[in-house]
């Protein structure tokens, strides 16, 4: 949850015994989120379809939130990809929708034990599925990733269009953290591997849950130290150093990439 919204959400492990008609049901059909005709997260009554999977999430501003999997999109409602929901839902609800997607995927992927293959059951008192045969517990897992805005001495920022981007936009360099690697080491490695330059003054900025499919994106800023750009064509379609007065298409809100770019733009306005 973003820092400003951190106290708005309270995780829950079990559904309350009493029915709560105003509960928000974050419903998925495949990878898409179902919203009401007015673009709102629906209640159970608005869905009108029996879910095939249900996972309790928690309370957002005191309101119960439940993740559900549906066989089809209910009549009169519409389904959207999580990325499409930027700007349609507020940031807190978008984050809960991402949490819902990850919890449903984890619940589906761990119906059987990864160690012995026996059936698992939902444990009490913790977020895990436990093996009925060997007692091995499977917890939701996150893949940490770093994202970094690199600034050159003349104030230009390194922005790139990645091969996996769903739309034409230029963003900061990012990549997954490898086993045995610190976050800072991952920042240095990713920048060198993808851009061929070395950096200095790596500074942590913020983090953001990133449900594509189950990451935690950790944001940094850094200063260009040495080297000319040598972009990796397997990762980057195009990229370069950009000044604030001549920007390419930028990543959308409320991504952490856009937050890093906005911080850089703001520094130029005050310098």
| 76 and 26 assigned to the same domain | yes
| 167 and 220 assigned to the same domain | yes
**How confident is the model at residue 3, as a pLDDT?**
44
Inter-CA distances, 158 with 6, 58, 145, Å: 30, 39, 18
| 155 and 260 assigned to the same domain | yes
**How confident is the model at residue 5, as a pLDDT?**
52
| 85 and 200 assigned to the same domain | no
Of the three residues 65, 88, 109, the one that is the final residue of a domain is: 109
Asked, for residue 130, whether it belongs to a domain, the answer is no
Inter-CA distances, 204 with 4, 207, 220, 260, Å: 17, 9, 4, 11
Asked, for residue 226, whether it belongs to a domain, the answer is yes
Asked, for residue 126, whether it belongs to a domain, the answer is no
Q: Which domain holds residue 213?
A: 143-270
Whether the Cβ atoms of residue 247 and residue 173 lie closer than 8 Å to each other: no
Q: What is the CATH number of the domain that holds 79?
A: 3.90.79.20
Asked, for residue 50, whether it belongs to a domain, the answer is yes
Total count of residues recorded for the chain? 271
Asked, for residue 22, whether it belongs to a domain, the answer is yes
* Residues linked to residue 130 through DSSP beta bridges, in sequence order: 121, 137
- The pTM score is 0.85
**How confident is the model at residue 17, as a pLDDT?**
86
| 85 and 155 assigned to the same domain | no
Asked, for residue 122, whether it belongs to a domain, the answer is no
| 35 and 92 assigned to the same domain | yes
Of the three residues 62, 88, 109, the one that is the final residue of a domain is: 109
Q: What is the CATH number of the domain that holds 219?
A: 3.90.79.10
| 161 and 237 assigned to the same domain | yes
| 93 and 200 assigned to the same domain | no
**Kind and range of the H or E element at 97?**
helix 91-109
Give the chain's domain count: 2
**How confident is the model at residue 79, as a pLDDT?**
94
| 103 and 175 assigned to the same domain | no
Asked, for residue 191, whether it belongs to a domain, the answer is yes
**Residues 220-231: b if buried by 16+ CB within 10 A, e if exposed:** bbbebeeeeeeb
Q: Which residues of the chain have pLDDT under 70?
A: 1-7, 270-271
Whether the Cβ atoms of residue 194 and residue 232 lie closer than 8 Å to each other: yes
- Distance, CA of 65 to CA of 122 (rounded, Å): 18
Of the three residues 90, 109, 128, the one that is the final residue of a domain is: 109
**How confident is the model at residue 2, as a pLDDT?**
41
Q: How many CB atoms lie within 10 A of CB 245?
A: 6
Asked, for residue 134, whether it belongs to a domain, the answer is no
| 163 and 261 assigned to the same domain | yes
| 159 and 97 assigned to the same domain | no
**How confident is the model at residue 245, as a pLDDT?**
93
**How confident is the model at residue 63, as a pLDDT?**
95
CA dihedral 7, 68, 97, 213 (to 10 degrees): 120
* Residues linked to residue 241 through DSSP beta bridges, in sequence order: 158
| 40 and 147 assigned to the same domain | no
């Amino acid at each position: 949850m973003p820092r400003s919204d951190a106290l708005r959400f309270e995780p829950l492990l079990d559904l309350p015994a009493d029915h709560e008609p105003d509960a928000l049901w974050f419903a998925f059909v495949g990878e898409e989120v179902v919203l009401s005709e007015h673009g709102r997260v629906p209640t159970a009554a608005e869905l009108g379809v029996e879910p095939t999977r249900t996972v309790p999430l928690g309370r957002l501003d005191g309101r119960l939130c439940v993740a559900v999997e549906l066989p089809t999109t209910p009549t009169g409602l519409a389904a959207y990809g999580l990325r499409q929901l930027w700007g349609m839902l507020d940031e807190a609800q978008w984050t809960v929708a991402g949490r819902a997607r990850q919890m449903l995927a984890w619940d589906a992927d761990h119906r059987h034990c990864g160690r012995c293959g026996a059936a698992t059951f939902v444990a009490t008192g913790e977020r895990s599925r436990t093996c009925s045969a060997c007692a091995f517990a499977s917890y939701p897992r996150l893949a940490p990733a770093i994202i970094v805005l690199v600034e050159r001495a003349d104030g230009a920022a390194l922005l790139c269009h990645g091969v996996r981007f769903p739309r034409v936009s230029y963003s900061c360099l990012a990549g997954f953290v490898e086993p045995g690697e610190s976050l800072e080491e991952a920042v240095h490695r990713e920048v060198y591997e993808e851009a061929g330059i070395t950096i200095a003054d790596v500074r942590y900025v913020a983090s953001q849950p990133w449900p594509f499919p189950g990451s935690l994106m950790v944001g940094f800023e850094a200063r260009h130290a040495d080297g000319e750009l040598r972009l990796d064509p397997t990762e980057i379609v195009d990229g370069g150093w950009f000044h604030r007065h001549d920007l390419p298409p930028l990543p959308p809100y409320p991504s952490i990439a856009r937050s890093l770019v906005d911080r850089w733009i703001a520094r130029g306005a005050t310098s």
